[in-house]
Amino acid sequence: MNAGGIKLGLGVYTTLFLIFLYGPLVVLAILSFQTGPEGGPQFPIIEWSTYWYRHLFGLTPPSRIAPLPIDQALIRSLFLALMTMVVSTVLGVMSAQAFRRKFRGSGLAFYLIVLGMMVPGVLVGLGMALVANAFGIDRHWWSTAFVLHVVYTFPFAFLVMLAIFNRFDPSMEEASWSLGVTPARTFRKVTFPLIFPGVLSAMLFAFTLSYDEFSRTLFASGRELTLPLAIYGTFSVEVHPNVFAFGVLTTLFSFALLGTYAILMGLSVRRAKRVRIQEDA
């Protein structure tokens, strides 16, 4: 196959992939502008309206359709994702730092860490529920579910940081040590600014994976539902376009998060370049 055919095939594949990825979001966005409260999740659109967005914030007259139970669930999911992000990122940086040197049992330790992302979430969640019941431990989103989220997201943060450290030039640290700077200060002033782009990536992975996690949370969160569980509960009764409106807002939040990540990444890369220039000088 010639180069033109390869480019055409890749172009077609990329186009189909983007349609498969974003097509459902487009349909969801269109249905979210259905009129209400009589309009439902069907085509064609009866009338274009922002009714369901106003319904999310309680700005519509009372009707038979109850508001989504997302207020407390959203707060729980955000706090859980933030807690998971901090702990998983710290553990990822520390463990990847330890793996920079070969030590006895490093291979076993590596596979034990990675195992957390490979075991099916349903099995892990069910196992945590059984263990909690056996020992009389109350299940909550901030305890049992939090532990499972860290176990799941920690391997992603670890692999990201491991890739960063594999490309890291240790001569900069050695130069700092030769000047009598302590290892702790060297890490804070030299190492951390250079690996900060990877730290941001690990934080983004941990936050998004925890925020959207369903199967592990289902068995371990107890009676206090997180956002994915609360949204799932609404589907078991009746589906209305207010769910689609909330999905659009959540998608916009994700894009805003990615934009913030891109800005911070650009700033950290420029800072790392300045550190390298100072080291070379």
pLDDT digits (tens, 9 = 90+) for 8-59: 888 889 999 988 888 888 888 888 888 878 777 777 788 888 888 988 888 8
Q: Are residues 152 and 195 in the same domain?
A: yes
Q: Are residues 49 and 74 in the same domain?
A: no
Q: Are residues 89 and 164 in the same domain?
A: yes
DSSP 147-211: HHHHHHHHHHHHHHHHHHHHT--THHHHHHHHTT--HHHHIIIIIHHHHHHHHHHHHHHHHHHHH
Residue 119 lies in a domain: yes
Q: Which CATH number goes with the domain that contains 222?
A: 1.10.3720.10
Q: Are residues 152 and 40 in the same domain?
A: no
Residue 196 lies in a domain: yes
> Has residue 281 got a pLDDT over 60?
no
Would you call 17 exposed, middle or buried from its count of C-beta atoms within 10 A (0-12, 13-18, 19+)? exposed
Question: Phi first, then psi: what are they for 171, rounded to 5°?
Answer: -65, -30
Q: Are residues 208 and 90 in the same domain?
A: yes
Q: Please check whether residue 244 is in contact with residue 31, taking contact to mean a CB–CB distance below 8 angstroms.
A: yes
Q: Are residues 135 and 34 in the same domain?
A: no
Scored b (16 or more CB within 10 A) or e, 243-272 reads bbbbbbebeeeeeeeeeebeebbeebeeee
Distance CA 76, CA 70 (A): 10
Distance CA 205, CA 88 (A): 10
Residue 134 lies in a domain: yes
Residues 221-259: tens digit of each pLDDT: 888 889 999 888 877 667 788 888 888 888 888 888 888
Q: Are residues 167 and 83 in the same domain?
A: yes
Q: Are residues 96 and 202 in the same domain?
A: yes
Residue 265 lies in a domain: no
Single out the residue of 209, 191, 201 nearest to residue 150, CA to CA. 209
Residue 256 lies in a domain: no
| Domain count for the chain | 2
Distance CA 244, CA 49 (A): 13
Q: Are residues 91 and 24 in the same domain?
A: no
Q: Are residues 164 and 211 in the same domain?
A: yes
Q: Provide the domain limits for residue 28.
A: 3-57
CB atoms within 10 A of CB 76: 22
Residues 48-95: tens digit of each pLDDT: 888 889 888 888 888 878 778 788 898 999 999 999 999 999 999 999
Residue 63 lies in a domain: no
Q: Are residues 13 and 82 in the same domain?
A: no
Residue 103 lies in a domain: yes
Q: Are residues 51 and 128 in the same domain?
A: no
